[in-house]
């Protein structure tokens, strides 16, 4: 991993807050007022990565041109003003998001080293146009955690095993573990990530940060390595709701290279920034689908959730309890293959498309069959011990199979009238709220691509017993593990969800605040010349 983070820091300057606590508005103001430069920001983040990445494996690659880009952006600001509020702000990208610079985009795999489509990801192009710095790539579970049931979440042969940051041995959670850890540790200002089924909201919870998982189609997925074209979405990870909203405003919109963005309504002109201005929720109706999490969480979590509901009620919202999702019981009784056949089939179709569209393809892989064979041929992929059984199951699927078509029809029902939108519509709600991210709940948001926001809520008590995951030597829960408030909505209801999330964030006071067990110590003031 290349970086220039060994440069000597500049003189200390008092008065600059810890970099991990800076908001987007504070960074923009600091740059505008010449308290520090983009080069100072990039240097600070590179130094922080160098301090702790050996412990957490959060970052897999540094953009070797990041400091050059920073200096160019500083010169642009001096001579032409800032391009946007993101001008000079450093971002990390999930390793599945393609750039046309020297960095790789491999979804954690060694098979895709050197392989790229002809176009950069639309989301990256938008960030660059807004003046953002692409700092590097974050580690992820290989192939978005879709290779084998035995593979530990957060592992990739390219980046190693990503680690939890609140307890040694804690599960970092599904594919976006590196990006979430990097945001909370202050290894970047923000990150751009993807989700199919929980890959953003679960790591955000595990690392005590904010994420907005947008409606599928609100943000282009063009030139991003897919898990399933019909299900994937792209969104921001940040420390604060308002910052995530501002980033979403920049990256959202239609794209000629992603047909799913055509589903954005013609009259959809949200102002995500404007809804981050008040702390009242008068007229907002919130539902609690108790049947999704009954008996799942300890009393400490439920008590904190009840306190959160009271805060929202004090802000003017009304809360409807037992706003249950009709299809939960049906779905929970399905066998595993009935739940997975759609994702397996769509993965095969999507990855075949992506591989066939590659502009550079050193290994010449064109299909899932090629991918399996090449993965098994590379020792570092550890195919013998870690397996490829999810791929093996996917290779036999076809989109005209009766089981697939029946499952698609069922998922349409469970994603509409018998799912989250149905509960919201039938009870005239604005959103649903749940403590944490209940098991299999993200499936219901995946079915029809409905949005979720995760906001930090609390921490398990210090005497919470450690609980190991059944298929790995990692801890699922334990002392001081964070959990979130999750906010669920209908398609393209992000404006409502952001308003609720922002209001809650402003009013909420957690009983305790726990820091990761190891944090970098390099600060922006160590580099600033002002």
DSSP helix/strand/coil, 428: coil
Tell me the pLDDT tens digit for each residue of 305-363: 999 999 999 999 999 999 999 999 999 999 999 999 999 999 999 999 999 999 999 99
Distance from the Cα of residue 197 to its chain's centroid: 11
Q: How far is CA 478 from CA 195, 407, 411, 455, 458, in A?
A: 25, 36, 34, 20, 13
Domain ranges for the chain, please list them.
19-276+464-515, 336-409
Tens digits of residue pLDDT in 436-453:
999 889 999 999 999 999
197-242 confidence digits (pLDDT tens): 999 999 999 999 999 999 999 999 999 999 999 999 999 999 999 9
Tell which wins on pLDDT, 474 or 131: 131
Q: How confident is the model at residue 13 (pLDDT cuts 50, 70, 90)?
A: very low
What pLDDT score was predicted for residue 374? 98
**What DSSP assignment string belongs to 477-519?**
E-TT-EEEEEEE--TT-HHHHHHHHHHHHHH---S-----S--
Query: Cα(111)–Cα(438) distance, rounded to whole angstroms?
Result: 34
Q: Residue 471: its pLDDT value, please? A: 65
Instruction: Tell me the pLDDT of the chain averaged across its residues.
Output: 93
Please choose, from the candidates 44, 77, 227, the residue with its C-alpha nearest in 3D space to the C-alpha of residue 146. Answer: 227
Out of 3, 5, 109, 175, the active site residue is 175
Distance in angstroms (rounded) separating the CA atoms of residues 126 and 107: 21
pLDDT in tens, 367-397: 999 999 999 999 999 999 999 999 999 999 9
Q: What is the pLDDT of residues 399-425, one digit of tens each?
A: 999 999 999 999 999 999 999 999 999
Q: Active-site residue 385, yes or no?
A: no
Q: Is 94 a catalytic residue?
A: yes
Query: Element (H or E) spanning 66, and its range?
Result: helix 66-80
Q: Report how far residue 293's alpha carbon sits from residue 434's, in angstroms, rounded to the nearest whole number.
A: 8
**For residue 12, pLDDT beyond 60:** no
Please tell me the distance from the alpha carbon of residue 231 to that of residue 345, in angstroms, as a whole number.
12
For 515-524, what is the mean pLDDT? Answer: 96
d(CA 387, CA 420): 35
CA distance 134 to 86: 11
Tokens of 27: 């960074």
Share of the chain above pLDDT 70, in %: 96
pLDDT at residue 264, rounded to an integer: 96
CATH fold for the domain made of 19-276+464-515: Amidase signature (AS) enzymes (3.90.1300)
How buried is residue 167: exposed, middle or buried, by Cβ count under 10 Å (0-12/13-18/19+)?
buried
* pLDDT band at 7; cut points 50, 70, 90: very low
Of residues 194, 199, 223, 350, which has the active-site annotation? 199
Q: Please report the pLDDT score of residue 529 as a whole number.
A: 52
What's the average model confidence in pLDDT over 452-467?
A: 95
Residue given tokens 């605040």 in the structure block: 513
Q: Out of 94, 163, 213, 525, pick the active-site residue.
A: 94
Q: At what angle do helices 336-356 and 368-377 cross, to 10 degrees?
A: 90
- Look at 377 and 2; give whichever has higher pLDDT: 377
Please check whether residue 50 is in contact with residue 135, taking contact to mean a CB–CB distance below 8 angstroms.
Answer: no
Residue 270 has pLDDT above 90, yes or no: no
- Residue 199 catalytic? yes
Two tokens at 250? 């920049």
Q: Quote the DSSP letter at residue 278.
A: -
Residue 269: the pLDDT is 86
What whole-number distance in Å separates Cα of residue 449 and Cα of residue 228?
Answer: 12
Cα(503)–Cα(501) distance, integer angstroms? 6
Question: Rg of the Cα trace of the chain?
Answer: 22
**How do residues 55-112 score in pLDDT, each as one tens digit?**
999 999 999 999 999 999 999 999 999 999 999 999 999 999 999 999 999 999 999 9
Q: What is the pTM of this model?
A: 0.95
Kind and range of the H or E run holding 127 = helix 122-129
Phi, psi (deg, nearest 5) at residue 132: -70, 155
The phi, psi pair for 49, rounded to 5°, reads -60, -45
CA 495 to CA 17: how far, in whole Å? Answer: 30
Q: What is the 3-state secondary structure (H, E, C) of 140-187?
A: CCHHHHCCCCCCCCCEECCCEECCCCCCCCECCCCCCHHHHHHHHHCC
**Confidence label for 154 from pLDDT (cuts 50, 70 and 90):** confident
Residue with token string 């926001």: 453
**Tokens matching residue 171:** 């599960």
The gap from C-alpha 505 to its chain's centroid, in whole angstroms, comes to 18
Element (H, E) at 456: strand 452-459
The mean pLDDT value for 27-37 works out to 95
H helix or E strand, kind and range, residue 136: strand 133-138
Over residues 156-170, the mean pLDDT reads 93
Nearest to 97 by CA among 125, 68, 78: 125
CA atoms within 13 A on the CB side of 377: 9
């Amino acid at each position: 991993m290349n970086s220039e983070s060994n440069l000597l820091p500049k003189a200390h300057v008092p008065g600059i807050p810890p970099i991990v606590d800076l908001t987007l508005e504070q960074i923009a103001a600091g740059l505008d007022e010449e308290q520090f430069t983009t080069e100072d920001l990039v240097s600070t983040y590179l130094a922080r990565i160098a301090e702790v990445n050996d412990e957490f494996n959060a970052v897999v690659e540094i953009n070797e041109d990041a400091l050059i880009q920073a200096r160019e952006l500083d010169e642009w600001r001096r001579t032409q003003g800032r391009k946007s509020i993101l001008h000079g702000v450093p971002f990390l990208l999930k390793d599945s998001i393609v750039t046309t610079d020297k960095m790789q985009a491999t979804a954690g795999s060694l098979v895709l080293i050197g392989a790229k489509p002809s176009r950069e990801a639309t989301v990256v192009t938008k960030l660059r146009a807004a003046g953002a710095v692409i700092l590097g790539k974050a580690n992820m579970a290989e192939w978005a955690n879709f290779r084998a049931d035995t593979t530990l979440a957060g592992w990739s042969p390219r980046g190693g095993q990503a680690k939890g940051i609140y307890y040694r041995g804690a599960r970092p959670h599904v594919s976006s573990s590196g990006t979430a850890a990097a945001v909370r540790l202050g290894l970047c200002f923000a990150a751009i990530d993807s989700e199919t089924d929980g890959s953003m909201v679960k790591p955000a919870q595990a690392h005590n940060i904010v994420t907005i998982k947008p409606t599928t189609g609100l943000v282009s997925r063009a030139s991003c390595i897919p898990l399933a074209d019909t299900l994937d979405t792209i969104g921001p990870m940040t420390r604060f709701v308002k910052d995530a909203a501002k980033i979403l405003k920049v990256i959202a919109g239609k794209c000629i290279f992603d047909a799913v963005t055509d589903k954005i309504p013609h009259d959809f002109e949200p102002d995500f920034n404007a809804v981050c201005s008040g702390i009242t929720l008068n007229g907002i109706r919130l539902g609690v689908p108790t049947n999704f999490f009954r008996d799942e969480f300890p009393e400490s979590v439920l008590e904190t959730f009840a306190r959160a509901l009271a805060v929202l009620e004090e802000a003017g919202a009304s809360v409807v309890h037992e706003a249950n999702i009709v299809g939960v019981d049906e779905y929970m009784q399905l066998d595993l293959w009935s739940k997975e056949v759609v994702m397996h089939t769509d993965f095969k179709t999507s990855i075949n498309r992506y591989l066939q569209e590659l502009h550079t393809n050193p290994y010449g892989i064109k299909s899932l069959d090629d991918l399996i064979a090449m993965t098994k041929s590379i020792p570092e992929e550890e195919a013998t011990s870690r397996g490829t059984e999810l791929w093996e199951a996917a290779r036999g699927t076809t989109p005209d199979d009766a089981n697939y078509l029946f499952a698609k029809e069922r998922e349409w029902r469970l994603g509409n009238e018998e799912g989250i939108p149905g509960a919201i519509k039938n009870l005239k709600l604005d959103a649903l709220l749940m403590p944490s991210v209940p098991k299999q709940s993200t499936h219901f948001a995946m079915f029809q691509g409905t949005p979720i926001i995760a906001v930090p809520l609390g921490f398990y008590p210090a005497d919470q017993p450690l609980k190991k995951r059944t298929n790995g030597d990692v801890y699922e829960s334990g002392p001081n593990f964070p959990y979130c408030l999750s906010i669920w909505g209908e398609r393209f209801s992000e404006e409502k969800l952001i308003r609720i999330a922002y209001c809650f964030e402003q009013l909420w006071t957690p009983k305790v605040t726990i820091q990761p067990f190891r944090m970098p110590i390099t600060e922006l003031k160590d580099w600033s010349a002002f």
